[in-house]
């Protein structure tokens, strides 16, 4: 298999790749994550994943993996919160409702670039304001789309149902990624 390069600062994505049994090298670069306002909401994550991949030169000895995750509630994208009040506002919107988590992944080699996405539906139970504030203050979910990590406390007590890939909600659809890497040249 080719060498794997993960272009992500996300500790969760790094952990997931390790758990998949892959050794990899990190590539880090700041990339503008803006997107056209007229793009369909379900295409934002794959668009940004590809944009991140485009920021790197292809590696002759391997595959670069880039990824982006968005939380979609109805017709609203919930990105990373700006502060604790913004996190509370987002979690209040998700509270007791079902939303979609969409992760876009791009695989880039010298010969090709391939982008795919996975969608998972997540249903939150109804939590109290005190529980939401406890989560925000104790777990500081400021680097997470939608202001939550499914692997954190809120995922243990507040997620009622997941339809689709659990690891997709963490930021990397591992089962699909494994399959795509096996078929990728």
Do residues 73 and 124 make contact, with C-beta atoms less than 8 angstroms apart?
Answer: no
Beta-carbon contacts of 175 under 8 Å, excluding residues fewer than 6 positions away, are 165, 167
DSSP string, 4-55: EEE----HHHHHHHHHTT--EEE----------TTS-GGGHHHHHHHHHHHT
Q: Is 143 an annotated catalytic residue?
A: no
Exactly one of 68, 75, 143, 152 is catalytic; name it.
68
Beta-carbon contacts of 20 under 8 Å, excluding residues fewer than 6 positions away, are 174, 177, 178
Question: Which H/E stretch holds residue 113?
Answer: strand 113-124
Alpha-carbon distance values, 117 to 69, 152, 156, 171 (Å)? 9, 23, 25, 11
Rounded CA gap, 40 and 38, in Å? 6
Total residue count of the chain as it appears in this document: 185
Catalytic residues: 68
């Amino acid at each position: 298999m080719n060498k794997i390069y993960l272009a992500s600062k996300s500790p969760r994505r790094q952990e997931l790749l390790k758990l998949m049994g892959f050794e990899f090298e990190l590539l880090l670069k700041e990339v503008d994550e803006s997107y056209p306002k007229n793009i369909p909401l379900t295409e934002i994550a794959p668009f940004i994943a590809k944009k991140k991949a485009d920021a790197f030169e292809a590696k002759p000895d391997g595959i670069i993996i880039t990824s982006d995750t968005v939380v979609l509630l109805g017709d609203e994208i919930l990105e990373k919160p700006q502060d604790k009040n913004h996190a509370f506002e987002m979690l209040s919107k998700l509270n007791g409702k079902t939303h979609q988590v969409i992760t876009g992944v791009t695989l880039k080699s010298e010969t090709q670039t391939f982008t795919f996405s996975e969608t998972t539906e997540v249903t939150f139970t109804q939590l109290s304001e005190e529980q939401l504030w406890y989560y925000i203050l104790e777990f500081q979910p400021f680097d997470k789309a939608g202001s939550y990590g499914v692997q954190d406390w809120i995922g243990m007590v507040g997620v009622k149902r997941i339809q689709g890939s659990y690891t997709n909600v963490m930021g990397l659809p591992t089962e699909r990624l494994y399959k795509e890497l096996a078929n990728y040249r």
